């Protein structure tokens, strides 16, 4: 068919499984985490703590498998930061997207993430995730602080503040990520690609400059 959009296979099966599993676990942790914090009451404090802890261990396990998968397949290279074309991406997201300008970046199997996404994932991996995980595990193993020699150096209140800060940053990242999934050539194009693995390219009328 002449009007059919050309497609490229971008997301492998494990990548899609990891993405959606992680999304469900992060949502579960956000819902239970803010309940533990006292923002609202849904499951009850005890149940919320239980679900939050189970989701945390499940996510740690998923990440362990994913890190192994990233390095054995070479997919980790997708996250190497690059400042090239960052300005073009910022201009597109702030102005171009509202004026019908062509997207300055086009995905390939070798380059799945635009420069701005790479920087965002770097911030997630280098700052937000360690803040959440270190503070969360310290919170979980509070009873062992004395035997580990940490009681004189750490305050539970500061660990709680750090964990809450990490949670707010992760929530902001989550909602920005969800918004950006709607910025493809159609509203659902990026979401469809993460379900099927296939990315439809924009219509041939758009310029395809990298």
Percent above pLDDT 90 for the chain: 42
Whether 210 has a pLDDT exceeding 90, the answer reads no
How does pLDDT run across 78-90, given as a tens digit for each residue?
888 777 777 888 8
Spatial distance between the Cα atoms of 26 and 46, rounded to a whole number of angstroms: 19
201 HSE (CA, 13 A, CB side):
20
Q: Which residues constitute the domain of residue 53?
A: 11-75
Average pLDDT over residues 86-104: 79
Residues 123 and 61 occupy one common structural domain: no
Whether 102 has a pLDDT exceeding 80, the answer reads no
- Domain assignment of residue 139, yes or no: yes
Residue 42 is encoded by which pair of tokens? 């849904």
Q: What pLDDT, on a 0 to 100 scale, did the predictor assign at position 208?
A: 38
Residue that is last in its domain, among 25, 51, 75: 75
- Domain assignment of residue 84, yes or no: no
How does pLDDT run across 27-53, given as a tens digit for each residue?
999 999 999 888 888 899 999 999 999
The more confident residue out of 115 and 60 is 60
- Domain assignment of residue 209, yes or no: no
Residues 114 and 68 occupy one common structural domain: no
- Domain assignment of residue 96, yes or no: no
- Domain assignment of residue 204, yes or no: no
Q: What pLDDT, on a 0 to 100 scale, did the predictor assign at position 176?
A: 86
Whether 68 has a pLDDT exceeding 90, the answer reads yes
Confidence tier at 179 by pLDDT (50, 70, 90):
confident
Residue that is last in its domain, among 30, 53, 75: 75
* Strand residue runs (E) in the chain: 7-9, 198-200
Percent above pLDDT 70 for the chain: 93
Whether 156 has a pLDDT exceeding 60, the answer reads yes
Helices (H) and strands (E) in the chain, counts: 9, 2
Buried b (16+ CB within 10 A) or exposed e, 6-35: eeeebbeeebbebeeeeeebbebbbbbbbb
Confidence tier at 54 by pLDDT (50, 70, 90):
very high
- Domain assignment of residue 127, yes or no: yes
pTM of the model: 0.80
Whether 164 has a pLDDT exceeding 50, the answer reads yes
- Domain assignment of residue 188, yes or no: yes
Residues 62 and 127 occupy one common structural domain: no
Residues 115 and 71 occupy one common structural domain: no
Whether 74 has a pLDDT exceeding 70, the answer reads yes
Residue that is last in its domain, among 31, 58, 75: 75
Residues 61 and 16 occupy one common structural domain: yes
- Domain assignment of residue 67, yes or no: yes
Whether 136 has a pLDDT exceeding 90, the answer reads yes
Structural domain tally of the chain?
Answer: 2
Residues 130 and 194 occupy one common structural domain: yes
């Amino acid at each position: 068919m002449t009007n059919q959009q050309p497609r490229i296979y971008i997301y492998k099966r494990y990548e899609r499984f990891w993405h959606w599993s992680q999304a469900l676990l992060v949502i579960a942790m956000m819902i239970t985490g803010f309940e533990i914090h006292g923002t609202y009451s849904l499951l009850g404090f005890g149940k919320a703590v239980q679900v939050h802890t189970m989701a945390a261990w499940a996510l740690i396990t998923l990440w362990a498998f994913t890190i192994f998968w990233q390095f054995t397949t070479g997919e980790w290279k997708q996250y190497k930061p690059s400042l090239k074309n960052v300005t073009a991406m910022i201009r597109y997201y702030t102005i171009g997207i509202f004026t019908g300008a062509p997207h300055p970046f086009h995905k390939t199997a070798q380059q799945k993430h635009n420069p701005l996404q790479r920087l965002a994932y770097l911030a997630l991996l280098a700052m937000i995730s360690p803040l959440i995980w270190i503070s969360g595990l310290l919170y979980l193993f509070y009873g062992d602080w004395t035997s580990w020699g940490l009681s004189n150096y750490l305050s539970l209140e500061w660990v709680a503040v750090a964990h809450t800060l990490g949670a707010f940053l992760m929530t902001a990242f989550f909602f920005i990520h969800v918004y950006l999934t709607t910025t493809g050539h159609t509203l659902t194009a990026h979401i469809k690609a993460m379900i099927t693995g296939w990315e439809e390219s924009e219509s041939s009328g758009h310029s395809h400059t990298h």
